Chain A
Amino acid sequence: MTDWLQSVLETAGPQARRLLPLWRFMLVVSVLVFALVIGMLLWAVCRRRRAEPPSERGMTRTIIGATALTVLILFVFLVLDFTVGRALARPPRPGPVVSITGHQWWWEIEYDDSLPQRRVRTANEVHVPVGQPVVFRLRSADVIHSFWVPSLGGKMDQIPGRENRLWLQADTPGVYGGPCAEFCGHQHAKMALVVVAEPPEKFARWYEAQLAPAVAPTDSSAARGQRVFVEGRCATCHAVEGTPAGSNIGPVLTHLASRLTLGAGALPNTRGNLAAWILDPQTLKPGAKMPPNELSPADLHALLDYLGTLR
């Protein structure tokens, strides 16, 4: 998790990058204006009083000049701002379309395809091909969330009853963090999306792998784990394609083992963390909708073995 990129200033895509000159310009001008105002203020306080006080007329002129300069600076800001805004409005060419639906406190992801069976469904981790614009269709299943991947570009709210669209592009392969950026209740703090940008051919391989249903377990422990999953409480909320478990209340887990994080970015996806998460998610993410689970050690290990096969 440490090699995530999640910064407005460390950019990996055209939108985020397009902002940098605007930001630098605003920063430099602001620093100059600030220095000028504070300099004038200190001069005004510390000015040697034996000297002639500035004439009323001179002061009027200076103030008019300063006001005109303010207006001019603001106007330049406006023009730059409009140019950048317009330039970023539309994707340059078509690319994959991904629906992201915010839930308290995780993300449901579905890739668009004209063929329903070609639509990948996953959660909390979205893969994108490098160098292609990706259009995100942003929706919410409950309250307002906000989709934001700082290193790739600006944010867009996910509003119940509406659909917003945002396009982003990653130019360098990598993992980019995407914290929820609109307060959405109890666990707003631990609701992060992971964006994995990879070369197109690697992305295509990932896509095909995600399309496939879960493989049937081969060893006995995993088979027992699958029974625990399907016949126990897990299947009440979670789906695994290729098994009877088909509930959509919680994140789909068909390829859980391929993901980097658990609990929507709350902790790295390791076997130990997964065990802790299954037994007591309320300690790791208090308020999360998943209840604690009581499993015998044997059942737990079988379940972990099974979930480990969901690559």
Chain B
Amino acid sequence: MTDTVATPIEPPARVPTDAELRELERTWGDRPGLRGWLATTDHKRVAARYLVTAFVFFLLAGFASVLMRLQLARPEQTFVGPDLYNQLFTVHGTAMLFLFAAPVMFAMGTYLVPLMIGARCVAYPRLNAYGYYVYLLGGVVLWGALLANTGPDVGWTAYVPLAGPDYSPGHRADVWQVVVTYTEVASLAGAVVLIATIFKLRAPGMTLNRMPLFVWTMLVMAFIVIFAMPWVATGSTIFLGMDRLVATQYFNPAEGGDVLLWQHVFWFFGHPEVYLILLPALGMVSSIVTTFTRRPVFGYPAMVLAAVATGILSFGLWVHHMFAVGLPQLAASFFTAASTMIAVPTGIQIFCWIATIASGRPRLRVPLGFVLGFVFIFVLGGLTGVMVASVPFDLQAHDTYFVVAHFHYTILGGVAFPVFAALHYWFPKLTGRMPNERLGWWTFWLLFIGVNAAFFPMHFLGLEGMPRRVYTYLAATGWGDLNLLATVGAFVMTAGVLVFLVNVAWSLRAGAPAGENPWDADTLEWSTSSPPPPYNFAVLPVVEGRSALWDRSGRAPIVTGLRSDMREQLVTTALDARPSYRHLMPNPSLWPLAAAAGTGLLLFLLIFTPWGIVIGGIATGLAILGWAWPTRRHEAEELRREREAA
């Protein structure tokens, strides 16, 4: 947009020569052609693919919900029968949570974190690429299965014994089980990458207490993934998978198994999952609030502590999904208390943002608009969350449309709105062009009105006794009108998403060139060109304050001494970010793709046979062998240079 004036950033103390830049480009860039495209380990290219893939899955899952809303628009319709409807809502939930919400956070995280902390790449760039490919394969399996009428139909929670071998013959539940495992493998890879990147690759001077809040929330999110994801991996792949494939009896009460074991294992993952998708979104909000109020977020220590506290508390509330299973009173009370308690850190963060806006000079641009919408919708969802934390009320609301309304408010408010805010906010950095402001506001209003029209009526439907996951309802229930309103809301939301797509298409071609820092933001990603070069920063920055760019002094120190002819990255200490050594990063490689193909084969075969572990395990193992095969390329290069110099 023409009215944004980028403040010129102080020129770095040393301007790199064109020859150096060309060398950096050669060192960090990918080979041309398909091979280079597939072998890339550039965190930005991988993350961009992650982002596009996640968004495509978001569109597909949204389309599934439109079909469901059409079916429910009037009572006793036969547009979608129970067989397809059960697949649609299962795939919608599975895709939105496992293929969109968590992956989109990894996409934004792996794109932005290295840029925000002044690094040239992520730690373990090959693992990062491997994670993406595994995720992509998982998504393809899920949607392919739906097209083949083998889409899972047991709910995204896959409760046993419904999802067990006796009541779900065929391969639908197997598809769910392996798709979840694909995304877990991908998420765990992404979490390891993020944690190592954040702890070890920060620019000198970026001590932990100067880290942008976005990076903090990504760090907490990655830790939640590492502690939560193995539970669902255990539950789905080991317990459920083995029950289905090799007739173990983990969940069969007749053989001493227990069906509630599944719910505990699932929700011990499932509840933290909610917060692992929420926290990075809160980090995005912090970034945007900072930029558009022109001041750092008020109460930085409180914000960090709140994020960490949320992460820890999120592991103490899983049982509030199980209030109706027949709990002892004392246990129920404990989990009620824990569930209400988590409202406190979330409340603190919202108060801090309001204080930031009040004491800053807000510019009401599209990203900030989405942030305001986020507060509105998310607070509403949070309040109904406090209601359903109450056992007596939850016993009425549980598994009804009240809960459907509640979690769509929290997830659309807490994830979708921040993500749309982030997409508008970082669009110039990702593409080099400004998004269209007018279309952005159209997207905002359509989504805001659509979300409220679609989901607010559902509170009433739930209280009127409409259970969730029903493909139809009788006319005599009187639920028709509110359902029709909800369907209209779904279409308004769809229009909002379509306008966003138009905005992206238009802005990519005709958007105003963005320049380095169109929003006058404070974090390091805005100090390099848009889109960033393969090496991220021509001159590596040194950080002097929490707001890296705003606190930069006239002659900011920089990092020197890294080679530009090799993929060298400065590794710093975990707490104080003091330089410790230069690390040689691996070159692009096709092996991560091969290993992902092996893992993909393993999981795909597991739909049909336990031999998948053997076949896919050998394939993956061979690929990892190739991946880790020692190479002397660098040493040979060194020798050559030394000889030349001599």
| Interface set of A (CB-CB < 8 Å, partner B) | 1-2, 4, 6-9, 16, 18-19, 22-23, 26-27, 30, 33-34, 37-38, 40-41, 43-45, 47, 49, 53-54, 56, 59-60, 62-63, 66-67, 70-71, 74, 77-78, 80-82, 84-86, 88-89, 104, 142-144, 146, 148, 150-151, 153-157, 159-162, 164-165, 177, 179-190, 286-287
- Nearest-neighbour CB distance to chain A for B469, whole angstroms, equals 4
Interface 9-mer from B15-23, B30-38, B47-55, B324-332: B324-332
Assess whether B359 is in contact with A54, with CB atoms less than 8 Å apart. Answer: yes
- Are B326 and A159 in contact, CB atoms less than 8 angstroms apart? yes
Q: Is B207 an interface residue (CB 8 A)?
A: no
Chain A neighbourhood of B155, CB < 8 A: 183
CB of B254 within 8 A of CB of A161, answer yes
Asked whether A8 lies within 8 Å of B463 as measured between CB atoms, the reply is yes
Q: Is B350's CB within 8 Å of the partner chain A?
A: yes
Q: Residues of B with Cβ closer than 8 Å to A?
A: 81-83, 86, 154-155, 159, 161-162, 166-167, 253-254, 257-260, 298-299, 302, 324-326, 329, 332-333, 336-337, 340-341, 343-344, 347-348, 350-352, 354-355, 357-362, 364, 372, 375-376, 379-380, 383-384, 386-387, 390-400, 462-474, 476-477
Q: Which residues of A contact B359 (CB under 8 A)?
A: 53-54, 56, 59
CB–CB B392/A184 < 8 A: no
- Pairwise interchain contact B372-A146, C-beta atoms closer than 8 A: no
For B368, the closest partner residue in chain A by CB is: A45
Known: A67-B344, A154-B395. A179 touches B299 (CB 8 A): no
Min Cβ gap B89→A in Å is 9
Contact A287 B326, beta carbon cutoff 8 Å: no
Given the complex, which residues of A lie within 8 Å of B476, measured CB to CB? 1-2, 4
Known: A22-B393, A159-B326. A71 touches B344 (CB 8 A): yes
B392 contacts A177, C-beta separation under 8 Å: no
A245 to B443, CA, bound (A): 64
CB distance from A276 to the nearest CB of B (A): 14
Beyond the given pairs A7-B463, A78-B336, 10 more chain A to chain B contacts, judged by CB atoms under 8 angstroms and listed by A's residue number, are A26-B390, A34-B380, A70-B343, A144-B159, A162-B253, A164-B326, A179-B467, A180-B467, A181-B398, A286-B83
- Residue in B closest to A1 when the chains form the complex, CB atoms: B476
- Cα A56 to Cα B359 in complex, Å, equals 8
A148 to B259, CA, bound (A): 20
* Cα–Cα distance between A26 and B393 once the two chains are bound (Å): 10
- Identify the closest chain B residue to A283 (Cβ): B78
A-B contact list, 15 entries, CB within 8 Å: A1-B474, A8-B396, A41-B375, A41-B376, A45-B357, A56-B298, A71-B344, A77-B390, A86-B329, A153-B395, A154-B396, A162-B326, A179-B465, A183-B159, A186-B86
Nearest CB of chain A from residue B548's CB, rounded to whole Å:
22
Contact A88 B357 (CB under 8 A): no
A37 and B380 alpha carbons, distance in the complex (Å)? 10
A-B pairs, top 4 by smallest CB distance, nearest first, are: A161-B253, A154-B395, A189-B470, A44-B358
Q: Is the CB of B399 within 8 A of A34?
A: no
User: Given A37-B350, A38-B375, are A77 and B340 also a contact pair (CB < 8 Å)?
Assistant: yes
Chain A residue numbers with a CB within 8 Å of B347 are 66-67, 70
Task: Evaluate whether A286 and B82 lie within 8 angstroms (CB atoms) in the complex, with A7-B463, A159-B260 already known.
Answer: yes
- Interface centre among B350, B351, B396, B477, by most chain A C-beta atoms within 10 angstroms, is B396
Nearest-neighbor residue (CB-CB) of A71 within chain B:
B344
In the complex, which residues of chain A have a beta carbon less than 8 angstroms from the beta carbon of B166? Answer: 142
Q: Taking the nearest CB of chain A, how far is it from the CB of B355, in angstroms?
A: 4
Q: Are A189 and B383 in contact (CB under 8 A)?
A: no
How many Å lie between the Cα of A143 and that of B262 in the bound state? 13
Which residues from chain B contact A183 at a C-beta distance below 8 Å? 154-155, 159, 162, 399, 468-469
Within the assembled complex, what's the spacing in Å between the Cα atoms of A160 and B260? 9
CA separation between A89 and B391, bound complex, in Å? 11
Q: Which of A9, A81, A86, A179 contacts B463, CB < 8 Å? A: A9
- Chain A's closest residue to B362 (CB) is A45
Task: Report which of B82, B257, B364, B396 forms a contact with A155, defined as CB distance below 8 A.
Answer: B396
Closest-CB distance, B309 to chain A (whole angstroms): 12
Q: For the complex, what is the distance from the CA of A144 to the CA of B164, rounded to whole Å?
A: 12
Separation in Å of the A293 CB from the closest CB of chain B?
Answer: 21
Q: How far is the CB of B37 from chain A (nearest CB, A)?
A: 43
Q: How far, in whole Å, are A54 and B364 apart by their CA atoms in the complex?
A: 20
Please measure, in the bound complex, the distance between the C-alpha atom of A4 and the C-alpha atom of B464, giving whole angstroms: 11
A22 to B388 alpha-carbon distance, docked (Å): 12
